[in-house]
Amino acid sequence: MSNVEEVVERALSVLAHKPSAFVTDVDGTLSRIVPRPEDASVSEAVREALRRLAGRVDLVAVVTGREDEVARRMVGVEGITYVGSYALNAAALPADATGKIARAKQAVQPYLARLPGVTLETKDVSFALHYRNSPNPDAMRARVIALLEPIAASADAKLLEGKLVVEVAPKSLPDKGTAFMGLMQDGGVQGAIFVGDDLADTAVFRAIRRRRAQGLPGLAVGVVDNETPPAVFDTTDVQLDGVDGVEAFLTALADELVVGR
């Protein structure tokens, strides 16, 4: 685990390269993962730190698998950029892609009663099965994947795994790395920081490494707990201790930027 002061120092050195960007995930990063996704929330301390960062960093953005409107409501900070559904342009989906996902969701629903502790989350262009509340999550993961794999294949969809969740999404759904790189290119960003906690975030961590190989400063910050996938450790530069660590980091970073360092 990295010391918060060390992460702040490294972040300041990256943000000194203008235009700069601070980009973050939401679930498991700004908000704790909870049994029901709709109950997740962002603390006022995190909100205040993001507000202060928005006044000092050229681009402050949220990139999330949640829909734009949901992310805006959860984070609740004006003046920052929200990129929901991994920047998917629903209008660019192949014909009947959303219909196929809807039919796949209908095909799954009759099986839910046989999957104790599994809950269905509906998104704008995808759906997910959460098995966090299952009595045996490891065994339930295998059952959920076995159920979803043929259904996803018939819907020309793909499976995305996260912390005790499997999502069914169109194959054309961009990954977070694509969304992140779009922000970087649109803003001509030099120094960039990304904070995230899960498998989907590793695409951004790898993008930061590729940018660094091109001479563009970056910092990949992992948020870790007892559910962190090994790939997060493998692709990040520093790690913070859970959402509490993120709150401490954001507050300290905002403090340092405000005093003009």
Binned at pLDDT 50, 70 and 90, residue 124 comes out as: confident
Tokens encoding 168: 């069914």
- Give pLDDT, residue 258: 80
Q: Given a cut of 80, is residue 260 above it in pLDDT? A: no
Second-level CATH architecture of 92-170: 2-Layer Sandwich (3.30)
Per-residue pLDDT tens over the stretch 128-156: 999 999 999 999 999 999 999 999 999 99
DSSP E strands in the chain: the ranges are 20-24, 59-63, 81-83, 119-122, 127-130, 157-162, 165-170, 191-196, 218-224, 238-241
Distance CA 153, CA 140 (A): 20
Residue 219 β-bridge partners: 193
| pLDDT attached to residue 88 | 61
Task: Please give the pLDDT value at position 92.
Answer: 59
* For residue 170, pLDDT beyond 60: yes
Predicted local confidence at residue 93, as pLDDT: 65
Domain with CATH 3.30.70.1020 in the chain: 92-170
Contacts of 170 (CB under 8 A, 6+ apart): 88, 93, 94, 97, 98, 100, 101, 125, 126, 156, 157, 158
**Residue 66 reports pLDDT greater than 60:** yes
CATH 3.40.50.1000 boundaries in the chain = 4-88+174-258
As a CATH number, domain 4-88+174-258 is 3.40.50.1000
Tell how strand 165-170 and strand 127-130 pair up.
antiparallel
Q: What is the pLDDT of residues 36-60, one digit of tens each?
A: 888 999 999 999 999 999 989 999 9
Q: Mind listing the pLDDT tens digit for each residue in 172-216? A: 877 899 899 999 999 999 999 999 999 999 999 999 999 999 999
> What does the pLDDT read at residue 41?
96
Averaged pLDDT score across all residues of the chain = 93
> What is the pTM assigned to this prediction?
0.89
**pLDDT exceeds cutoff 80 at 16:** yes
Whole-angstrom distance, CA of residue 30 vs CA of residue 54: 15
Calculate the alpha carbon distances from 149 to 56, 71, 168, 187, 199 in Å: 45, 28, 9, 38, 19
Give the rounded percent of residues in the chain with a pLDDT score beyond 70. Answer: 96
The burial class, CB within 10 Å (0-12 / 13-18 / 19+), for 133 is middle
